[in-house]
Structures are given as C-alpha cells and as structure tokens.
Structure 1
Amino acid sequence: MGRRSDHSPQELRELLLEKGQELMAEVGYARFSGREVAKRAGYSVGTIYNVFGSLDDLLAAINTRTFGLWANWLERELADGGKDRIASLVRGYFDFAVAHPNLWSAIYEHRVSPEKGLSEEDLAGRAVLTGIVEEEVAAVLPPDTDLDTGRYARSLIASVHGHCSYAVTGSFALLDETDPVGSALERVRESLRQNGAKLGLQS
C-alpha cells in the first residue's frame, strides 16, 4: 500500500483519475468501484475522499477527463476528415462512442446532484467539446443569422446523440436502420440548410 507522501497532491489526483478512467473503460459505470480505483493506485479508499471529497466528485472528474479525450478525438477527425467538416463531426461523435462505449455511457449514466452541480473546472473541461461543435456550426451559418448558435449547436448535438445512443445500444437494429451515422448526418444537414447554411463538399 502506497503512502500519501509518495506523490504530490496533483500527482495523486492525476493517478486516481488515470486509474479510475482505466477501470471505467474496462467495467463500465454499473460495476465501477472506488475501492478498486484506490487499490490500483496503491492507496486506501479514504484517499479518494481526501483528494476529491466524494466518490461523486471522482466520477464527475473522470467523465470530464473523458470529455477531454473526446474533444481531442474530434479535433483529429476534423484534421483528417477532408472538406466536409460537418460530416467529420458527426462521424467523430459516433466513432468515439463505438471505440469507448463504457466511457461514453458513463458520461450520461452518472447523475450530478442539481443542488451541487459541477465544479467550475468540470464545466470548463466539458465546454471544450461543445465549443468545437459550436465553432464548426457557426462557420457554415450565415454571418447575419438570428440564431443563438450556441443553443442551436447543442440542439444538433442532442439529435446526433439520440441516433448514437440507439446505435450503441442496438435499438436501431430493431428498427431496421442500417446506417445510423448517415441518418444522423442527414438530419443535421437538413436543419443547417433550413437555417441558411452553406455546406461544403459532402461525402
């Protein structure tokens, strides 16, 4: 068993987050154990409460870390995906969820208390991903649009998320939908065109 002096407070926080995210990827939210995280880090379970305050706060921080991975994934998709950046965003959303199903699902399975909410650090970390989408959506909309592009982008994310959730859980297969990515992309393009967007090369 490790000693708290083995790591600085920041190093210990990062270690617990790393081990926590590894465990979440392996077993998913339902089987996640703070005790197992501490064990893998070489500390007692009480260390989680000393560092994060509660298991809920650790879970929130793990999910925020996942948002960071997801944002990096989208950035790579945009860099490598060619001229149709909207298609890259939608495909990147699906591809991340398929590649990391347990991490992706944990974001939505963990319920944060409305009374407590997320910390400023967590909010800022998660805003990076939505900021990427907002920037790409704003880039194709008319400069003089009356839309609140932030709210509109989040609405498009919700539409893609619904399609993605059905695909990851297998529900779309029951509906005989063979191309959920293509379906989500069509809905996004339709909405953007209705609001005057000029879309680039499509694939």
Structure 2
Amino acid sequence: MNNVQEESLRDQKKNRRRLHILEIARSIIATKGLRSLKVRDVAEAAGCSVGSVYNEFGDFDGVILTVNRETVQALTVRLGRVPAEDPVRQLYGLAETYLEFFADNANLLRSLFEHRMEDDRPYPDDILQMVMDAFALMHPPLVRLLPDADDVKIALLSRTLFSAVHGIISLGLEERMVAVPPQMLRQQVTQFLDAHLLGLGILPAR
C-alpha cells in the first residue's frame, strides 16, 4: 500500500468517526434535549477519546453548531417546498410546514435557538444568516401581497410573522407547560395569521 492509499484510508476513517460523533450528538439532542448533551457521553458512545472529539470539531461548541447547521438546512429545504403560486396560501403553508417540522424535531430546533457559545463568544455569522434566510422565505409572498410597501417594512414584517409563529408553536409544544394538542395548535396559528393578514388588508373583512 502506497502513501496515497494510506492517506485515503486515514481520511475515510476520520470522516466515518466525524459522522458517527455527529449522529450520536444529534440523537441525544433529539431525544433528550441540548442540556443532556455531554462531551464525555458522546466520546464514550463513539468509542473515542474526548480529545478526538475536540480534534474533529475544534471544541464541543463545534459539535453542537454542526448539528444546528444541519437542522436549519433541513428546515429551509422543507419550507422551500411550499408551493408559491398563491401568495396567501404560501404564507399559511409556510406556517403549517414550520409547525410540522417543529413537532417532528422539537429538541433539535430548540437547540438552534437555545445554544449559547462558551466564554460568551459571538454566535457564528453563517448560522445567523441561515436562520435569516429561512425567515426570508416569507418575503416573496409579502412583496406580492403588499406591492407598495418598501423593502425595510417587508423584511421587518416577515421576521415578525416568523417570530410570532415560532413563539406560538414553541410554547404550544412545551411539555413543561400546558401542551396544546397539534390540531388546536394548528388552529391557533391559522387564527393568528387570519387576524394579522386581515389587519394588513391582505384578507377581506368578514
């Protein structure tokens, strides 16, 4: 075996270990929540040392951030599949899709918003931009529905709508409080959008 082959095998082993660590971390977050994630538990389950985890990801924040990136990427893909022919239906579709994704991946999505960097380091710009890109999916239908509004107003409105929908769903699915049944939660999100779009003059008064 030559040096190139040996290096290729090392890279393959390194990549498998990295993916295995991520799989374990993702599973723990998904089933038990971010607070239950401990580097020693991940290393033990992966059959490697804590140092190996750090070597792969720089630090433990690196593991969490990688999982969070994958979560927001999956969310954005799911939201991007919502049909865009009718802008009003698209807004409702985005909200319903977000509810479905949150219900299926509650702890992973909470990790995205709850994670705080060690030593108060700033959160990576690329993940913040990814979240903003997800928010921005509400921008095109709002532009179509409010053609006279300027970009600043539309951007603020899209963030407000997304944040409000997130808050309704997050609290509704919070098991430590009074959890709302999925169908009732869907109705609450729909009622919020009804009222907000009515106030904006997008929906006709009933």
TM-score w.r.t. the length of structure 1 is: 0.75
Q: What pairs with 1:50-69 in structure 2 (closer than 5 Å)?
A: 50-69=55-74
Q: Deviations over 1:91-131 (max 9, x none)?
A: 11111111122212222332246952222332343333223
Closer, same or farther in 2 for the Cα pair 1:25/1:156, shift >3 Å? same
Equivalent in the alignment of 1:183: 188
2:31–2:107 contact (8 Å) kept in structure 1: yes
Equivalent in the alignment of 2:130: 125
Amino acid aligned to 2:65: A
Q: 1:150 and 2:152 equivalent?
A: no
Secondary structure (helix, strand or coil) at the match of 1:169 reads coil
Closer, same or farther in 2 for the Cα pair 1:177/1:45, shift >3 Å? closer
Gaps of 5+ in 2: 1-8
Aligned pair count reads 193
2:136–2:159 contact (8 Å) kept in structure 1: no
Amino acid aligned to 1:107: L
2:28–2:36 contact (8 Å) kept in structure 1: no
Equivalent in the alignment of 2:27: 22
Secondary structure (helix, strand or coil) at the match of 2:34 reads coil
Amino acid aligned to 2:90: R
Secondary structure (helix, strand or coil) at the match of 2:147 reads coil
**Fraction of identical pairs, as percent:** 23
Secondary structure (helix, strand or coil) at the match of 2:36 reads coil
2:194–2:203 contact (8 Å) kept in structure 1: no
Which of 1 and 2 has greater Rg?
2
Q: 1:145 Cα shift?
A: 0.6
2:92–2:193 contact (8 Å) kept in structure 1: no
1:65–1:125 contact (8 Å) kept in structure 2: no
Moved over 6 A (4+): 8-11, 80-83
Amino acid aligned to 2:77: N
Closer, same or farther in 2 for the Cα pair 1:116/1:10, shift >3 Å? farther
Q: 1:160 aligns with which of 136, 157, 165?
A: 165
The CA RMSD measured in Å over matched residues stands at 3.4
Q: 1:51 Cα shift?
A: 2.9
Equivalent in the alignment of 1:197: 202
Secondary structure (helix, strand or coil) at the match of 1:68 reads helix
Q: Distance in 1 between matches of 2:23 and 2:133?
A: 20
Gaps of 5+ in 1: none
Q: 1:36 and 2:36 equivalent?
A: no
Q: 1:99 aligns with which of 71, 93, 104?
A: 104
Q: 1:165 Cα shift?
A: 1.6
Higher mean C-alpha displacement, 43-52 vs 7-16: 7-16
TM-score w.r.t. the length of structure 2 is: 0.74
1:74–1:89 contact (8 Å) kept in structure 2: yes
